[in-house]
Structure 1
Amino acid sequence: MLVLLPPSEGKAASGRGAPLKPESLSLPGLAAAREDVLRELVELCAGDEEKAREVLGLSEGLRGEVAKNTELHTAGTRPAGEIYTGVLYDALGLASLDAAAKRRAARSLLVFSGLWGAVRVTDRIPSYRCSMGVRLPGLGALGAHWRAPMAQVLPEAAGDGLVLDLRSAAYAAAWKPKGDVAARTASVRVLHAPTRKVVSHFNKATKGRIVRGLLTAGIAPKDPADLVVALRDLGYTVEEQAPARAGSPWTLDVLVDEVH
């Protein structure tokens, strides 16, 4: 099973570990594309601060994020699973998983990123600010920048099991599974049961709980149909929407009344 996660806007501070070693990151086929984004992002933020803030879509109160990006080559690092914070990652609770579940997380979780493309939760990275929706002056839209290298690398990373796609729309644009991989892919929507509407907090928290439940139970569904069974066994109310044509991803609706 491969689980595709969005990053978080807010991030923990860089750690005290050794500075970034790009060659140590997972998915080495993305290395050249990562270097291109990293180089331009650092140069942009080290130059005109106002332009950098505009390009990155940062408010006045987030001006300090520009300076953070100038230090990406020298800042300390920590595992990506510690860098990313927020509702989904709080619900996932990587730090409190048992040893076996942590090993499963290291193998199966992939976090998408405007800067790194995608990283494992064990990859050591510095804190940064660069969403997938950014359009850098030289490289252009990052979603488009990542499509070709992702198309080369991600099918192999997906293996022959389920691809559980929990990304938001901006990050999903960077890689769309095709062919056999698409047939094994399921995206999940979390809907407030009484209204059948997506509610941001419910959506993020429930996705985090779903992943935690699968990791803790040691469940690795092979395909979307197996995932439906697994989620129901974990106590979720699930409505599946099989694809209209063969070779397309499934959509699963998980219905919740409230999230505690």
Structure 2
Amino acid sequence: MIVLLPPSETKRVGGDGPPLRLESLSFPALHPLRESLLDELVALAADPPASRRALSLSAKQDAEIERNAALRTSPTAPAIRRYTGVLYDALDIETLSAAALSRANARLAVGSALFGLLRADDPVPAYRLSASSKLPGQPTLGARWRPVLEPVLAALATDELVVDLRSGSYAGLGRLPGAVEVDVVAEHADGRRTVVSHFNKAHKGRLARALASSRAEPTDAAGVAAVARRADMRVERSGNALTVVVTA
């Protein structure tokens, strides 16, 4: 089983790994586009106003541009520890036991606007590039990634069940028909259900933690739902679609 996570805008800086070497990353079929995007981001960083426009940054966020300028020389950290934010706080990778962490490293993957797809332990630097970014003179990132990323995702899904927790913009970089998809809804006292927005990420982080650390090896959506229920999550299933129901 592979649990496919979205990345986050916020990332931990620093790291104790050597500078980025693309050949050290998983999914080598993605290297040519990774190389091009790295070159473009480093070059763009030399023009802060253009960087701000392309990356939707304010002048107060120029440190993000400086990180892009140093993409090839700055230290790396495992992808699962590089990303921060609500989902990753709920995943709380730091508190897993050694055995659970080993399972998590094997099962977790992260979608990325810069790297396409990463395994949990792939070493990457801090960077700024979102799925919605559009680099000067280039097509959208979705148009650039889909032709190369979708075959990689399809090959991954031939061998393993994929639980796709990516947000819409990152799912748009590479579609994966047949993956187990997850929505989160809030149930009100009168029975009404509404879509959960901000805390959607927290509940998906809880689910990712349960799936990443479980001794079980789900092979279908029913198995994924069973793991979630053992983690005290309320889950409903319709085919390959799961709905996590939380109290409003």
Same fold by TM-score, threshold 0.5 exceeded? yes
Secondary structure of the structure 2 residue equivalent to 1:140: coil
Residue 172 of structure 2 aligns to which amino acid in structure 1?
A
Residue 241 of structure 1 aligns to which amino acid in structure 2?
S
Distance in 2 separating the partners of 1:22 and 1:150: 16
Residue 197 of structure 2 aligns to which amino acid in structure 1?
S
Shift of 1:39: 0.8
Shift of 1:213: 1.5
Distance in 1 separating the partners of 2:203 and 2:157: 23
Which residue in the other structure is 1:121 paired with? 120
Taking only aligned residues, the RMSD between alpha carbons, in angstroms, comes to 1.5
1:40, 1:138 within 8 Å by CA — same for their partners in 2?
Answer: no
Q: Does 1:14 align with 2:8?
A: no
Q: Deviations over 1:110-141 (max 9, x none)?
A: 10111111111111111000001111123321
| 1:59-74 correspondence runs (5 A) | 59-74=58-73
1:161, 1:223 within 8 Å by CA — same for their partners in 2?
Answer: no
Distance in 2 separating the partners of 1:216 and 1:121: 13
Shift of 1:106: 1.3
1:112, 1:171 within 8 Å by CA — same for their partners in 2?
Answer: yes
Secondary structure of the structure 1 residue equivalent to 2:110: strand
Q: Does 1:219 align with 2:216?
A: yes
Residue 123 of structure 1 aligns to which amino acid in structure 2?
D
Percent sequence identity over matched residues? 45
| 1:1-260 correspondence runs (5 A) | 1-46=1-46, 48-178=47-177, 182=178, 185-194=179-188, 195-242=192-239, 250-257=240-247
Structure 1 alignment gaps of length 5 or more: 243-249
Aligned residues: 245
Secondary structure of the structure 2 residue equivalent to 1:63: helix
Distance in 1 separating the partners of 2:48 and 2:214: 47
Distance in 1 separating the partners of 2:41 and 2:53: 13
Secondary structure of the structure 2 residue equivalent to 1:119: strand
Distance in 1 separating the partners of 2:25 and 2:137: 24
Secondary structure of the structure 2 residue equivalent to 1:235: coil
1:37, 1:139 within 8 Å by CA — same for their partners in 2?
Answer: no
Which deviates further from its counterpart, 149-158 or 104-113?
Answer: 149-158
Shift of 1:159: 4.1
Q: Deviations over 1:199-229 (max 9, x none)?
A: 3332111111111112332222101122223
- Which 4+ residue blocks in structure 1 deviate beyond 6 angstroms? none
Shift of 1:176: 1.2
Name the TM-score, length of structure 1 as normaliser.
Answer: 0.89
Name the TM-score, length of structure 2 as normaliser.
Answer: 0.93
Q: Deviations over 1:136-178 (max 9, x none)?
A: 1233211221111112212222343321010000000111124
1:69, 1:129 within 8 Å by CA — same for their partners in 2?
Answer: yes
Distance in 1 separating the partners of 2:32 and 2:164: 25
2:87, 2:202 within 8 Å by CA — same for their partners in 1?
Answer: yes
Distance in 2 separating the partners of 1:26 and 1:160: 16
2:4, 2:164 within 8 Å by CA — same for their partners in 1?
Answer: yes
